[in-house]
Each structure stands twice: as C-alpha cells, then as structure tokens.
Structure 1
Amino acid sequence: MSEITVTRRPHLADQVPALVSVIAPPALGALTPLLEPGLAALTAAATVCGSAAFATHYVGRIPASVLDATGIGDVLTAQRSTLLGSSLLTSMAVAPGVFLGPAYADGLLAGFLDPASVSGLVSAAWWTMWAGLTVRLRPALAARRVRISAPTPEAGPPGTPRPGGLYKIWADHISGEGGAHPGQHLVGVTDSGELWQGIIEAPQGKAVNVSAEAVGSAYRVPAACVTFADGHHPGEQYVTVRRTAPAELDPNTMEGMWARLVRPKVMPGTHLKDAQVDPATGGWVAWVVADDDVPAVPVPDRKLLVGALRSSMTLVDYQPHPSDPRRGKIRLMDKNPLEDGVPFPGPQALEPSKGGYIAIGRGVSGRVARLQMFDPVLGAQHIFIAGVTGSGKGGVVQIIALAAHLAGTAIIYADPKGSSNPDVEAMAAYAATGTDAIKSLRLAYALLQHRVAESARLGRKNFKATSDCPWGMVIVDETHMITDASTEEGKEAVFILDKIAALGRNLGMTLLIVNQAVNADKLGGSTALRTNVIQGGAMVMLRTDSAQSNLVTVDGFEGIDPGAIPAAWSAEDEPLVWSDDIPLNDPARTFGLGYVGSPGEPVQMMRSWILESAAPYIRHDAIIWPADWPGWDDRHDIAEVPVIGEAGYTPSNGPSWGGGGFAPSLDGGFTKPPAEPSADAAVLACFDDTGLEITKDDIRTLTGLNEKTLSNVLTALVKNGEIERVKNGVYRKNP
C-alpha cells in the first residue's frame, strides 16, 4: 500500500478558538492586577462565569440549539475539553490576583524559577498544564505535514482508477519529483464514477498553479474535462475531472452545436443550460445563459442565429426572458407545430381574462399567444398589427374584433380600402368604408371629447366600464391610406389618431392600427402615433419589411426580422439548372405566422387561429354602442363635419352634440337615415308655435325627446344665447 505526504491546514473557525484558549491564561493573568480595581473584579467574575459555562458544556448540559446559534457549534463541541481547561487556568491566574495584586501574578507566572518554594511548585504545575493544553491544540493552530495511506484501486468498481489509483497517478506525474508541479499534492478525493473531485494543496507560501493540460495529460482526458474552483486561500484549490467530455464538446448535442457554431460569432459569452428534447416539436429546447463574466445575453440577429444552427426561419425560435436579462430560451425544431394550422377553437377561447388578455392563437411552445385588450386599472390598451398583403393580418383583426364584440365593446370601424373585412364591419356600432372612412374617425373623436369632458366633470381618474359606458375600440384598417399627409383629410386623420392614441387609454378607448408597416411615413409622418400605440400596448408583427424591426423598441422584439418570415412553409430548393420539365409545388402559405408582444407576455413565434369568417359568431342582437354619449343620435351629422380645416372649425369651438337612446339595427348595417330636424331645431320650433314662455315638460311632450337629451339641448341653447331660463323649468326664446 503506497503512502503520500500531505499538508493539513486548520480552518479559521478551528484556529481562532484555539488561539484564544492558548493566549488567554497567561495574558489575562499578567494584565488583570494592573487594571483598576473595579475593572479587575469584573474581569475575574467573567472568567469564573466562563469556567462555569464551559464546565456545563463539557458535561453536555447546554442545548444543541444554543451551540448551533453561535455558528461554530461543531468547533465548540470538538474543543470542549481544551476550552474548559483554558478557562480553569485563566480563573486560577485572574481571580486570586484581584485580591493579592501583582505579587501573586509574579509568583504564578515566574515562580517556576525557584522550584524549591511553594509558589515555584504551583507555578510549575500551572505552566505544565498550559503546555499540555497547547500541545493538544496544535492541530488546530498550525499546518502540519503527515503521511497517509492511499486507498487501493480495488476499493471501487473496476474499469476506472479509484481514489488510490488517482492519488498514485497524481504523485507520479504532477506532485512528485520530476512531475509537472512538484509539491502540489492532491487530498480529499471523492469519486462518483462520471467524475472525481479533490483538493490541491501547494507548499506554504506558494500558490496553486496546476494546469488543466497537466491534469488532462496525467489522467488521459481532454483539458476541457478539468475545471478548478478557488479554495480558502491561494495555496488551496478544488479540482473536478470528468471522465467523459461535457455536452458542449460533443458535436451531436445541442450544447456542442451551440459552443461550436453559435457562441463564437453570433452570441459570444453564452452557453446552454438544461438542454432537453421538446416533445411539442421533436427538436431541442434549452436556456441560453450568459457566462459569469457577461452581464446580459446579447441580442441575436435571428437570421444569423438560424444560419449558424443550420436550420430555417420557421424552425428556430428565440425568446428573451421578460424579466431576466441573463437568460433566453432557444428552440430548434424538427417540424414547426404551427405548420398544420391552429383551427379556431370557438368563441369561448376569446373570453378576456381578469387582466383583459385575449388569446389570438398559439405559440410554438404550445402556450396560447395572448395580447392585452384592456387593463382593469390602467384602462384600454392600444394594438398595432403590421403585415403585408397575404401575411394574415385580416384574420388577426377579425379575431380581435370578435373578441371585443363578444366582450361587450363598442366598435367604430374605418376601412379606407372598402373591402378589407366585411365581418368586422358587421360587428361595428358604426362603420365607414372607402372615401367615407374619415367619418368613423370624426365620430370617434367626438366620443373622445365627450369622455374627456365627463372625466373632468366627474373627477374620474381611472376608467370603469359599465353597461351604459362600455369599453370602446376604434379599428383603422389599412391606416396608410387614410393618413396621407398631402390631403386635408389625411391631416385630419393624423390629428384624430394622435389624440386617441394619447388620451384614449384613460377613457376606455382602444386604438387598433392595422397597417402594412410601422414607418412614420406610412402613418402620416407621426412618430408620436406609432410610439403611443406600440409602446403603450400590444404589437402583432407578421411578415413585413425587414426595416420594421429597427422601429419596434418593445422588449422581446429585439433582433426579430419580419422580412425573414417566409411566405410559404416549405418549398423545394431552386435547381441549379432550370428545366420546364421540373414540376412546381404549391406550398402552404404562412398566413398568420409572426410574433406577438404585450405587457407581461413573452414574445414568441406564434400563429393566429384559422378563422375563415367570424359571421357565424356575431351576435347581431347584442351590438354595443356608447350609450353614455348623448351625441350618438346625431352620429351621422357629426361624421359629416371635419374636425379641422373647414369653416374655421377647430376642436375648441365645434358644436355641442346632443341626443341619445339609439339602438343599432339588427342587421349590423348602419346607413344614414333620412334627414330629420335636429334636436336644437325641434326645441326652437316649440317656442315659435306656443309663445314666448314654455315649461320643460311641455317641450318634452311636443318634441318627444328623452330627459337626458332635452336637458343637454336646453343647456346648449341657453349657453348660446338663443333662449333663456326665466325660472327653474321655464324657458323663453330671445329676440
């Protein structure tokens, strides 16, 4: 059996109590007589109490919980006899000295110089006990070199060197004479089969400098299988040696592919963690984690990431962690589970959560793709949908509109194209298409003005939806067509949309922008509109121009290239030499494929529900309109009046609209009714017919107006000076 020499160094937790035990008796014995009488007496009492406490601990009468509370319970237990001995020696030196003075201290500490006297015998006995105490504490006081027997290789399973063999290899090739690092010994080895660990100890005064290459060469493993960790001091280091290469060195694993292909140039300073097979895709899923010396995971260019992984855009998904900048999730798929489509599961899937989130499709992880339509505390949340023709944005609009309709939202729809989504038009309380699309925005602006005034009048801080004051949603399809800044109507549209985007959230009005791109020049040049909608709400990005990725600054969209989303799921490679005899396949389109981001939701690759038509789910008998607004009766008149640029009209001096009680027609189509006298004209006609003064009740009987509308009209006419209130409930017309 071979032996090796190792250096044993005490731990600081053992060393400090041992030093105190050795130094305290002579030091306190010499100093106590020199103290003031009161302080000397207090010191003597403390030493006696300490002796009593250590005696109690020695006989096992102190609870383990009390010892553990000190943080060094194991040390106190291991040194209980020496602590008791030290406390008794200290009491012998201190307590009598308080009463007998320096003469006693001199006799006890130096009396051994006169061995024939009584004090000499006492002194010799006291120092003998102190010396024995010091010898017993030597292992806890200083490092020492000892010879140990190395376990034999037969101690463990055959086939690999066990601890005995590990020690011998180390001594022969590393720590022995002629080794790579003489004097740097291996101790404390534990072997778990796949790897073994130990402690490297360097000679005192030197630091451990054993290299991974030396260890790898000695044990015939790659240097990457050897890792080190700092010990308690420079002369100590922990070593771990794997017998098989880590996953990142195996090119057949996800970790190996990442380390070889992605880490060097695409995402430096990162590694994979918890890589595992993803049953949803048949591929791999893993955490991307920043290295210890890297503060955050870098934002990858998705196209470069896909190329490095030797895959395609539809088979790689990367999700930044929504709250931890040091992590992200990578998914490498054999087949995208969204390729076969995600059929619409039914209207029950569109029911908003308590937080106002609705599901619009499903992500590659199997988790539903959600966006927030409203927040119970903050109010309505705006939505931006970007995608070129054929990307599926019409289907997403239809799903969101259906969810809003079934949730009791009043929808105002503007479609300058004129035929974008007839089903959405059927759900709307008011819809205007083609060249009339601006009318919907004028009506939405008038509703916004009303709610601004009501909020100020009622001192309302946060919007609370009720049956009479519902959530509102303004949907603007193909927004670039209505925001042409070169026209007066385009300027008016930009002005209105800016106001709704800035003020609508607190007033319960969602603005849903649908456009082919998010460029400011496609929104009438309004960067404020884009910022308010995207930053303050949800973003759905389908296939569109690659340049759009730089304009979306929402967390989670970093590095996404919407232009790289293919138009089709799969297509045969273009042959090197073309021939008319080669048949062309018609691949399935990727409509509805994209990314969705919303507050509190991870951004992931998703596909919207496949819903050809929402018509079967529309409740024509439950179309909601903003009943809180008296001007709804006059919506068609309001829609005709430009907000800016006509007859000097501006938002501050426009007319006051009254009315109420309108119920939408059951067929969902809203055509302008035949022109009828306005409420103002009807009230003024009453004065012409009946004389100078008339009561409010008579006016109601003659006009048929409801109480709320009549009150608003009378208030407006008095304010304009056309009539005056003679007394409460009685009015007359001014000349």
Structure 2
Amino acid sequence: MSEITVTRRPHVADQAPALVSVIAPPLLGALTPLLEPGLAALTAAATVAGSAAFAAHYVGHIPDRVLDATGLRDVLHAQRSTLLGSSLLTSMAAVPGALLGPVYADALMAGILDPVSVSGLVSAAWWSAWATLTYKLRPALAARKIRVPALASGVPAASGPGGLYKIWADHISSSETGAHPGQHLVGVQDTGHMWEGLIEAPQGKPVNVSAEAVGSAYRVPAVCVSFTPGHHPGEQYVTVLRTPPAELDPNTMEGRWARLVRPKVMPGTHLQDAQTDPATGGWVAWVVADDDVPAVPVPDRKQLVGALHSAMTLVDYQPHASNPRKGKIRIMEKNPLEDGVPFPGPQVLEPSNGGYIAIGRGVSGRVARLQLFDPTLGAQHVFIAGVTGSGKGGVVQIVALAAHLAGMAIIYADPKGSSNPDVETMAAYSATGNDTIKSLRVAYALLQHRIKESARLGRKNFKATPTCPWVMVIVDETHMITDPSTDEGKEAVFILDKIAALGRNLGMTLLIVNQAVNADKLGGSTAMRMNVIQGGALVMLRTDSAQSNLVTVDGFEGIDPGAIPAAWSAEDEHLVWSDDIPINDPKRTYGLGYVGSPGEPVQMMRSWILESAAPHIRHDRIAWPQDWPAWDDRHDIAEIPVNGDDDTMSAASSGGSSGQYAPPLARALKAPAEPTADAAVLAVLNDALGLEVPKSDIVTLTGINEKTLSNTLTALVKNGTIERVTPGVYRKNS
C-alpha cells in the first residue's frame, strides 16, 4: 500500500491542556517563592490537590459524569499520563519553594549549571522529566508532517477516532487540501455502524461543512451524513452512517416507500419497524411523519396502491386511532381473506362486557368488531352500507343473530320482503313489503313508552333486564321506505329520526341497512345519518366511491368503497383474446369491506360466511319488550299512522319526542278489545275440531289480513298448537 505525507495540526481542545502541562511546572516553580506567604501556601496546596486529582484520574477513580461535565473527556483521557507528570513536577517545584523561599527555586531551576553538586543532580533530573513530558506532547503542541497509508478509492475509513480524525484533517479542515479549512472535528465517538463528532469553526465564522464533502471524504453517500445544530453557529454535530439506510435500498420496503410513495402520494413520511407479516406473507410497517411534518397526510387509496404497484385487495392502510403522526401500512402477497372466513360458531357472537361482537376477521388476523351497546352510554346504532351482491345481507344476519343470542328484542322492517327470512324468524315483530311501516310504528310506540317511563322513574342511564331488554330495530333497504314524496315515506323518516336521536338512552339500537349513506337515499335526513354513524358503528362494503366523502368517522379517511372489486383478481387480462384461453371463474369478494366502531381500528375485513342463521336460532328464547304493557296491542298500534301537525317541541322539556308526529298509544274512545290473531284462528279451528280448514276460509271467518294470518299460522304450527295437513290447509290438534 502506498503512503502519502499529510500535515497533522492539533485542535485547540488538545493544544490548550498540552500548553498548560508544559508551562505550569517551571512557571509556578519560579513564581511561587516570590508570592506573599499566604498566597504562596495556597498555590502550593492547589498543586498538591491537582496532583491528587490527576493521580485518581490516572488510575480510573474519577466518575465518568465528572469527566463528561468538563466537556474534555476525550482529551483528559488521551493526556492522562502527561497531566499527572506535569502536576507532580509542578508540586515538586512549588511546595518546597513556598516553604524554603527563592533559594530553593534558584537551586531547582538553575542548579543544572553545577552538575557535580547535589542540587545540580536534582535540577538535572527535574528538567529531564520536564523535557520528556514536552516531547510526548509534541503532537498536541504544533503541526507536523507524517507519513500515512493512502486510502484506496471506495474503501471506507478505518474505525476508531484516530483514523476518522486523520481523514477529516486531510480532506476537510486542511488549509491546503481541505474542502472546509479550519473547521475541525473533535469529540468523536465511534459505535461501529456509525460515528458522531462535533465540528468547530474558527471564531467568528459559522460551520458550513457540506454532506457531500463529508461523504466524499469517508466514501459514503451524502444521505448517510446528517447534521444537528450545536450551541452556537460556530459548532455543529455530525453523524455519519457507514451503511446506507434502508430507504436507499430498492429491495427493502423502506426503499420502495422512499422511491415510489413519498414523492407524490404521502410526502413528508417515512417507514419505521418494517418487518415481514406472517399473516399475509408480505410486509407491515408504521408510516411516520417526518420531524417537520405535523401529521401523516391522508392518502388516496387508489394512488397509494398504484404507487406500490399492487392491487386494491393487497394493500391496507390504517390511520392510528390516537396518534396523527402514525399509520400502519400492510402490503400483502396474498390476502388471507380471499379464501373466506367460515363462521366459527355462535360462541364468537357473545358480546364482550363493553357490548362488542365479532362480525368477521381483519387482514391482520385480528377480529373485526362493532359495538351494539355500551353499559354506560346505552345502545349504539349501526349503519351497514353496500350495493347488491356486496354481502350486506350476510352482515345483517350475523349482527341480528348476535343480538338474538344476547337476549335483545328485534323489530324487523324489510320493504323488499325477501331480504333475510332468518332475521324475520328471530324477530319479536316483523313487517315486510308494503306493510313495512307497521314495524316502524310499533318501534316508535315503544320508544314513546320508554321516554315516559324514563321521565317517571327519573332514569338517567338505561339498564337492561330480562323484562326490559335491549331492543334492535333493523330497517333493511332503508331507501325503499324513506321516499319523501309519499306520506308513508315522510312518516318513516320522522320515526327513524326520532329513534336515531333518542333511542340510545332508552336501550334501542337502530340498524340501518342501505346501499349508500347519501342523505337523499335516507329521505333527505342528514340528521339520521349523523346520529347513526357518528359515535356508532359503520360497516362499509362495496358501494359508490362518493360515499367516502360523506363519512367523517375517524379511520375511514381516504377509503374508497367503490374501489373494492366485485371479485378477487385471479390473473391479468390478456392483451389479445383467444378462444383457446381458459376462463377461470373469479371468486366473489362477498363480505369484504371496512368496519369502524368506537375504540376499534378501521381495517380491511371480511365478515363471517354464514349461509343461514336458522340452525342457531333459539326459538324458545325470542325476546320481546315485556316492559311495554301495550305489546299485546301491537297489531292495532301498527295500523295507526304516526301523523300530526307541524308544531315541534323539545323532547328534553316535554319528556316526549320532538317533531311533527305523535302516535296515539290509546284511542280516546277505545272500543272493546278485539281477539288477538292467535285467538281468532284458534276459535275457527276449535269450531271445526278434527276437520281440515283451508286458509281462504280462515281469512273469511277471521277477517285477518293475509300477511298477519300467515305469520300467525306459522307460529301456531311451530309451537304444535295446530298442524299443516297440506300447503294451505290446517287442522287443530286434539
């Protein structure tokens, strides 16, 4: 290896203590005897104390915190032997001089001129020790030229402060060949993969060393060099990484983020703790805002996926629930939800102490939960949005089954008439098709009753009991019943508004199921949407992209429900089509979406796959609101429209609901109660005991409408009171 000659100039941090070490012994030895006796004694004592201190430092008995406080720990350690020798020579000259006066000083300082005398020998020994000390300190006292091995191109500097100082002196601070003359490096600490130091500029000048100059000198990329301000413009801390950071490696997740995402999609962000994700076979990392960025920007999910060269079903981003400076990014090799999430069994639907139920599983492996009720705050509303085929019927079935198994009373309204027969079966009251408004009237009458009872009892928070259960009002395909151009539509909007606004504190959960969250799809009621979604749970499946702008729930920022594909992408589309290319039927993304609930992270999830809830329905445990005395009159109440004038009054001041409608819970002149549908049917069949009676005859004899009669006959057959001989023909059991 070739050698080069370099000039090594000492830094002031090294030079100052070296000068003191050389000058102090002869100077104090000559001056101490000339001082006033008290001051001379004090000087002598100080030299003795100094010798003791440097002796303790030499043997390693001075605590590190004391050395650090001086700011010269490295210098004190490097010159510990010369500092001890200088202090001993000084004490040897000053202490006897203070006691014996100028005679001793003259003998010590000039005795070397008479080498054959005793004083001459002592003086010679003292000056020899001082000369040896000065010789050892010569590198710290003056510049010198030395021969060093030349650093080969592309070879990083050797570790250790010595090698680092040498390269800095040669290529940065040298007045002849340095990029920034006079800007010296001190206090270097080398940890192996990186080193740090302090740059000091000449007094009156600021530090202006560039990352490019440091990178060139130490053969590392400029991005590996960073600076931190010191206590004043004349000093600056420098940190140099020997290995480039991960964001410079295109094969790492950090490198892909820095190159593909940071410039345009999420500027001012970087990744932390990137690691492989065993749940997906891909990567997961924290997205963190840079120091000068207050919060992580909300990404456009399509742009984020495109920048990562991935697919919508293979990228999941979750904002942090409480820290605006963090988010979680997950890039998958295969989405673990693609194969479906079979329903594990009714045990997963058991509510937690806080009223949370699991409706599926997220891509992270964590269950996806929503809250049906809060023991302190009351009932929690739920909104399920998704177009036909997105799987919202399956989610409704799971939520309803959870409510049923938890002992909640279900009131079901289904304008479509065939959305979810299993939910209709587990409901305490249901109305479908053209009769859907009846369910809402019954629910509203129950709401009115609980308002009055709450005022009468002075009840602040709702507490569920077996006779006063939580109630879930499920309204499927809500847009079909909230048409504001019809009287029933206006009535439905009014009732739903009131349940959404007042139901929480009365133990009544409102479950809205709709294709979209637009107000115009809810009868124009933005209040209903706000009361259900804000603070409640939202399940967003595949639907219109515009829905993302209408949802202000934390965690849903940037989610595009329109970008959820209808099917999992099996392979790329062929550029040129041929009949020889086999067609693989794609798997549907049924139940794929996002769920958000108070205290739960919003993540990509898929609902449990449950074809039918029928095997899990407990027909002997279908709950109903026993706290409402008018429950037996529900069929009569369902026939009475909720209508009134336009006057409004505050629910808080009146103890009742506010708005333009008020359903009469009892008629002013109530006619004698008519027999219930069950009693009317049994009366007809009792009269024809043992005979088979067609359904058409039962309709004629009882006057019950077709839908109510069908429900009644089904219930009587299930409990064994009557039997169905053939379709449409019934007989009373003896």
Quote the residue 1:662 is aligned against: none
Q: Tell me by how many angstroms 1:675 deviates.
A: 9.0
Quote the residue 1:374 is aligned against: 373
**Structure 2 CA distance for partners of 1:74 and 1:180, relative to 1, 3 Å:** closer
Q: Tell me by how many angstroms 1:645 deviates.
A: 6.4
Mean CA deviation greater in 388-397 or 193-202: 193-202
Checking the alignment, whether the CA contact within 8 Å between 1:372 and 1:537 is kept in structure 2 is yes
Deviations 1:684-712 (A, max 9, x none): xxxxxxxxxxxxxxxxxxxxxxxxxxxxx
**Structure 2 CA distance for partners of 1:459 and 1:236, relative to 1, 3 Å:** same
Give unmatched runs, 5+ long, in structure 1. Answer: 11-53, 59-67, 79-144, 659-669, 678-735
Checking the alignment, whether the CA contact within 8 Å between 1:283 and 1:333 is kept in structure 2 is yes
1:8 aligns with 2:13: yes
Quote the residue 1:172 is aligned against: 170
Checking the alignment, whether the CA contact within 8 Å between 1:636 and 1:672 is kept in structure 2 is no
Checking the alignment, whether the CA contact within 8 Å between 2:13 and 2:186 is kept in structure 1 is no
Quote the residue 1:273 is aligned against: 272
Quote the residue 1:720 is aligned against: none
Mean CA deviation greater in 145-154 or 165-174: 145-154
Give the aligned residue type for 2:534. Answer: Q
Where do 1:204-215 residues align within 5 Å? Answer: 204-215=203-214
Q: How many residues align structurally? A: 548
Deviations 1:341-397 (A, max 9, x none): 111111111111111111111111111111111011110000000001111101111
Superposed CA RMSD in Å reads 3.4
Mean CA deviation greater in 379-388 or 162-171: 162-171
Quote the residue 2:722 is aligned against: none
Distance of 1:385 and 1:530 partners within structure 2: 11
Q: Tell me by how many angstroms 1:579 deviates.
A: 2.9
Give the aligned residue type for 2:312. Answer: M
Distance of 1:339 and 1:361 partners within structure 2: 13
Give the aligned residue type for 1:581. Answer: D
Deviations 1:408-466 (A, max 9, x none): 10100001111111111111111111111111100000000000000111111111111
Quote the residue 1:217 is aligned against: 216
Mean CA deviation greater in 185-194 or 402-411: 185-194
Distance of 2:362 and 2:445 partners within structure 1: 39
Quote the residue 1:333 is aligned against: 332
Quote the residue 2:432 is aligned against: 433
Give the aligned residue type for 2:252. Answer: T
Where do 1:709-728 residues align within 5 Å? Answer: none
Checking the alignment, whether the CA contact within 8 Å between 1:6 and 1:146 is kept in structure 2 is no
**Structure 2 CA distance for partners of 1:9 and 1:441, relative to 1, 3 Å:** farther
Q: Tell me by how many angstroms 1:217 deviates.
A: 1.1
Distance of 1:4 and 1:623 partners within structure 2: 92
Deviations 1:630-679 (A, max 9, x none): 01011111111111269x99744713389xxxxxxxxxxx97763999xx
Checking the alignment, whether the CA contact within 8 Å between 1:6 and 1:148 is kept in structure 2 is no
Distance of 2:530 and 2:494 partners within structure 1: 15
Q: Tell me by how many angstroms 1:576 deviates.
A: 2.1
Quote the residue 1:422 is aligned against: 421
Quote the residue 1:231 is aligned against: 230
Give the aligned residue type for 1:637. Answer: D
Three-state SS of the structure 2 residue aligned to 1:8 is helix
Give the aligned residue type for 1:209. Answer: N
Distance of 2:142 and 2:453 partners within structure 1: 90
Checking the alignment, whether the CA contact within 8 Å between 2:640 and 2:663 is kept in structure 1 is no
Checking the alignment, whether the CA contact within 8 Å between 2:380 and 2:509 is kept in structure 1 is yes
Quote the residue 2:159 is aligned against: 162
Q: Tell me by how many angstroms 1:230 deviates.
A: 1.9
Distance of 1:326 and 1:433 partners within structure 2: 48
Deviations 1:274-313 (A, max 9, x none): 1111111111111111111111111000000000000000
1:622 aligns with 2:621: yes
**Structure 2 CA distance for partners of 1:359 and 1:146, relative to 1, 3 Å:** farther
Three-state SS of the structure 1 residue aligned to 2:680 is coil
**Structure 2 CA distance for partners of 1:196 and 1:618, relative to 1, 3 Å:** same
Distance of 1:4 and 1:468 partners within structure 2: 92
Three-state SS of the structure 2 residue aligned to 1:674 is helix
Distance of 2:346 and 2:549 partners within structure 1: 35
Quote the residue 1:697 is aligned against: none
**Structure 2 CA distance for partners of 1:634 and 1:199, relative to 1, 3 Å:** same
Where do 1:525-604 residues align within 5 Å? Answer: 525-604=524-603
**Structure 2 CA distance for partners of 1:448 and 1:217, relative to 1, 3 Å:** same
**Structure 2 CA distance for partners of 1:235 and 1:147, relative to 1, 3 Å:** farther
Quote the residue 1:728 is aligned against: none
Deviations 1:127-161 (A, max 9, x none): xxxxxxxxxxxxxxxxxx8669999999xxx9851
**Structure 2 CA distance for partners of 1:295 and 1:75, relative to 1, 3 Å:** closer
Distance of 1:525 and 1:279 partners within structure 2: 46
Give the aligned residue type for 2:192. Answer: G
Where do 1:194-593 residues align within 5 Å? Answer: 194-593=193-592
Mean CA deviation greater in 485-494 or 160-169: 160-169
Checking the alignment, whether the CA contact within 8 Å between 1:387 and 1:393 is kept in structure 2 is yes
Mean CA deviation greater in 232-241 or 303-312: 232-241
**Structure 2 CA distance for partners of 1:151 and 1:208, relative to 1, 3 Å:** farther
Three-state SS of the structure 1 residue aligned to 2:302 is helix
Checking the alignment, whether the CA contact within 8 Å between 1:225 and 1:241 is kept in structure 2 is yes
**Structure 2 CA distance for partners of 1:344 and 1:214, relative to 1, 3 Å:** same
Q: Tell me by how many angstroms 1:192 deviates.
A: 2.7
Checking the alignment, whether the CA contact within 8 Å between 2:274 and 2:283 is kept in structure 1 is yes
TM-score (norm 1): 0.70
**Structure 2 CA distance for partners of 1:469 and 1:203, relative to 1, 3 Å:** same
Deviations 1:5-36 (A, max 9, x none): 113299xxxxxxxxxxxxxxxxxxxxxxxxxx
Q: Tell me by how many angstroms 1:219 deviates.
A: 1.4
Distance of 1:673 and 1:382 partners within structure 2: 36
Checking the alignment, whether the CA contact within 8 Å between 1:153 and 1:165 is kept in structure 2 is no
- Structure 1 vs Structure 2: percent identity of aligned residues? 79
Distance of 1:456 and 1:219 partners within structure 2: 79
Distance of 1:146 and 1:341 partners within structure 2: 77
Deviations 1:241-275 (A, max 9, x none): 12221111111111111111111111111111111
Give the aligned residue type for 1:335. Answer: K
Three-state SS of the structure 2 residue aligned to 1:311 is coil
Distance of 1:570 and 1:502 partners within structure 2: 42
**Structure 2 CA distance for partners of 1:625 and 1:615, relative to 1, 3 Å:** same
